[in-house]
Amino acid sequence: MDPFKKPKTVEEENLNESEVLEATEIPEDGLDEETGLISGEVSEIAKDNASENKAQAQGKKKDDSSDDAQAKKNPIDVGDRMALRERLLAAAPKESLMRNEVKQVLLQKKEVLESDVKKYTRKRNYALLSNAIAQLREVVKQLQELAHAGYEALKDMWLNVVHRFA
């Protein structure tokens, strides 16, 4: 007799296998796309929607001409991106405030990365440690560039660091 084995109750003993199977069955209506996402069938293109994933999971293949037509229909609009950039620059603060915002964000990143370096050193996870050190060096380099940056370079840094607009 195993002392760690959970004793069965009277109700569990009276259930036969068919009742247990009925209770554990999961209806399969509409779960194909969810199970596909869970099992790792993630789309390569971020713009695909769930119905396209479901069609691909069921074995329906899309022809290449429809992909080309969709790419021509929804091209990346550079004008919208430039308009957004101009709108952000129009709402930009003064140079000193802009410099302080960039410095504050970079110092926060630096603190997080320094704590990650300490953590990965203790755990002896050298792959993550190497990545954290590389990112830390990049942040220190950006701080050095910030100290010597002119106004035009500062605007680009402000967009990249504060707004993550590359």
Range of the domain at 40: 10-73
pLDDT computed for residue 63 by the predictor: 47
Please indicate, yes or no, if residue 2 is contained in any of the structural domains. Answer: no
Q: Considering 25, 53, 73, which residue would you say is the last residue of a domain?
A: 73
In the numeric block, the tokens 């915002």 are attached to 101
Please indicate, yes or no, if residue 1 is contained in any of the structural domains. Answer: no
Same-domain pairing of 54 and 115: no
User: Percent helix, strand, coil in the chain (nearest 5)?
Assistant: 70, 0, 30
- Alpha-carbon gap, residue 82 to 126, rounded angstroms: 41
- Alpha-carbon gap, residue 133 to 95, rounded angstroms: 30
pLDDT computed for residue 2 by the predictor: 56
**Angle between helical axes of 151-161 and 95-123 (0-180°, round to 10):** 50
Please indicate, yes or no, if residue 5 is contained in any of the structural domains. Answer: no
pLDDT computed for residue 80 by the predictor: 87
Q: Is 57 helix (H, G, I), strand (E, B) or coil?
A: helix
pLDDT computed for residue 67 by the predictor: 52
Q: By the 8 A CB rule, do 106 and 142 touch?
A: yes
Same-domain pairing of 65 and 116: no
Q: Is 7 helix (H, G, I), strand (E, B) or coil?
A: coil
In the numeric block, the tokens 């569990």 are attached to 12
In one-letter notation, the amino acid at residue 76 is I
CA 140: distance to chain centroid?
A: 24
pLDDT computed for residue 79 by the predictor: 81
Please indicate, yes or no, if residue 111 is contained in any of the structural domains. Answer: yes
Q: Considering 34, 54, 73, which residue would you say is the last residue of a domain?
A: 73
pLDDT string in tens for the chain (166-residue length)? 555 665 655 555 555 555 544 544 444 544 444 444 444 444 444 444 555 555 555 554 444 445 555 545 556 677 888 888 899 999 989 999 999 999 999 999 999 999 999 999 999 999 999 999 999 999 999 999 999 999 999 999 999 999 888 7
- Alpha-carbon gap, residue 124 to 111, rounded angstroms: 20
